[in-house]
Amino acid sequence: MKKFHVTTFGCQMNEHDSERMKGMLTSLGYTESQQREDADLILFNTCSIRENADNRFISHLGEAKRLKGEDPERIVGVGGCWAQSVKDEVFRRFPFVDVAFGPGQIHRLAEFLNSDQLSAQGYFEFEDFAGHLPAHRARQFQGWLQISQGCNCVCSYCIVPSTRGREQSRDPGELVLEAERLAADGVREITLLGQNVNSYGRDLPKESRVRFSDLLGMIDQVDGIDRVRYTSPHPKDMREDVIEAHASLPTLCEHIHLPLQSGSSPILKRMRRTYTRERYMDRVAMIREKVPDCAITTDIIVGFPGETETDFDQTLHVVEEVGYDGAFTFVYSPRRGTLAAEMEDQVPHPVKVERMERLVEAVQRRARERSQRFVGRNMEVLVEGPSRSDPTRIRGRIRHNKAVNFEGTAEPGQMVEVEISAATSQTLTGTERLLSGIGA
């Protein structure tokens, strides 16, 4: 039996796509190998969001070249956003690559493997959602649901619109059926995925058009699903109906990821984000009013071209004011083919690094402060497995998406109550509460 090995870079959409690749390969009779050197088919699912994503992948590709040199029968495949952004150039730069494909052509890999291809092949026209392929889930009780593909935004720093194309939504009826199938298969937590989830549905034909909040309501109704999450929304499309859904739908978790990118309106304008600092803060106020305990997380870029000390200060102010439960912070990285990469006033690297240090300090301090509200409370935890740092303890996640390490006896996939005794910026600590009556 032939074996495959997949290495995944990038975001949750790529993790989802890799699960689909694995599902498809399993249905072709391949089995998964834990080691790259044992595989007949070596695959990379790539990302191109920042320069270091490119670099990390390219160093892995060196090992694939060596393995292919040892056994020329091996097949090396490169999929995902980096592949899509360089297209056929991949074969000129890396002649040992046999097959390359973008995020909308994963199914073509099967065609390639089933044919007696003698020459390298590239597939780069969007044809289908990866979500239509069979999946091989990493965890039995957690599942992805790809609700859309592509992005119609024109953020000036971002390569994604060019790698994942125009936005296309999947039919809501089809999504509900898939959620039901996942539930029947043991999934308790579903994460809806899209590049810009809350603009979902606008491209659908009139007769099947629903809003993102309607879709959330439909998934909430699926029996057996206890938790619903989604990523990533865009602040410009974060309307009252979506925020209200967090208050009214029992399964929808108390967590909203609201990517800020910058706290300065002039920089937001140059980023082409189409919202101002004020509008963003209005969204935050609406969340705080309607869902008071909601966790809010964000993405922030430092050192965007033209960012002055005053602009950066505005970002720090927003961080202080919002008090994020967590934030992903990135140093701006110029990407090929994007508007921002051509802007003249690029920020020197040492300035970016120094700003990043100040930002991380503020983010972590505020997150640590925010976390304290969980101490002393009993929180519902979905168990994921053993703790990473101490295997005698258990790890899980609360609805607010914070990780918890705790003492107890629960098994992966179980929902338990944990009394929280301590909290840092990233994780909570606690003890599993035994339900009264057990053992009596």
Crossing angle of the two packed helices 240-248 and 212-220, in degrees rounded to 10? 10
Residue whose token pair is 């309501």: 217
Residue from 299, 320, 354, 419 in contact with ligand 5AD (CB under 6 A) = 299
Site for ligand 5AD in 351-410 (CB under 6 A): none
Tell me the CA distances in angstroms from 411 to 137, 177, 215, 385, 387, one per residue in order. Answer: 18, 28, 31, 7, 12
Toward ligand SF4, which CB reaches closer, 53 or 383? 53
Does 275 bind ligand 5AD (CB under 6 A)? Our answer is no
Helix (H, G, I), strand (E, B) or coil at 146: strand
**Could you tell me which residues are beta bridge partners of residue 395?**
385, 405
**Residues facing 261 on adjacent strands:** 300
Of these, 103, 150, 194, 259, which contacts ligand 5AD (CB under 6 A)? 259
Q: Which residues bind ligand SF4 (CB under 6 A)?
A: 10-11, 13-14, 47-49, 80-81, 159-160, 163-164
Out of 212, 332, 374, 406, which residue is the one contacting ligand 5AD (CB under 6 A)? 332
In DSSP terms, 329 is beta-bridged to 300
- Find which of ligand SF4, ligand 5AD, none residue 330 binds, CB within 5 to 8 Å per kind: ligand 5AD
Closest CB to ligand SF4 among 51 and 88?
A: 51
Burial of 168 (0-12, 13-18, 19+ CB in 10 A): middle
For ligand SF4, which is the closer residue by CB, 164 or 402?
164
Beta strands in 1-87 (DSSP E): 3-8, 31-32, 41-46, 75-80
Is the bond preceding residue 232 a cis peptide, omega within 30 degrees?
yes
Question: Can you state the percent helix, strand and coil of the chain, rounding each to 5?
Answer: 40, 20, 40
What's the closest the beta carbon of residue 218 comes to ligand SF4, in angstroms?
A: 25
Phi then psi for 269, rounded to 5 degrees? -65, -45
Q: Which does 14 bind (CB under 5 to 8 A by kind): ligand SF4, ligand 5AD, none?
A: ligand SF4
Contact flag: residue 280 with ligand 5AD (CB under 6 A): no
Single out the residue of 26, 63, 175 nearest to residue 18, CA to CA. Answer: 26
- List the single partner that 25 binds among ligand 5AD, ligand SF4, none, CB under 5 to 8 Å by kind: none
Helices (H) and strands (E) in the chain, counts: 13, 19
Binding mask 107-146 for ligand 5AD (x = CB under 6 A): ----------------------------------------
Binding of residue 238 to ligand 5AD (CB under 6 A): no
Type of residue found at 432:
E
Rounded to whole angstroms, the Cα distance separating 239 from 360 reads: 29
Contact between 315 and ligand 5AD per CB under 6 A:
no
| Closest separation in Å from C-beta 151 to ligand SF4 | 8
Q: Which of the choices ligand 5AD, ligand SF4, none does residue 80 contact, using the CB cut-off of 5 to 8 A by kind?
A: ligand SF4
Nearer to ligand SF4, 142 or 231 (CB): 231
By the rule CB under 6 A, 20 interacts with ligand 5AD:
no
Contact 196, 168 (CB under 8 A): no
The one of ligand SF4, ligand 5AD, none whose footprint includes residue 301, by CB under 5 to 8 A per kind, is ligand 5AD
Query: Binding residues for ligand 5AD, per CB under 6 A?
Result: 49-50, 157-158, 259, 261, 299, 301, 330, 332-333, 335
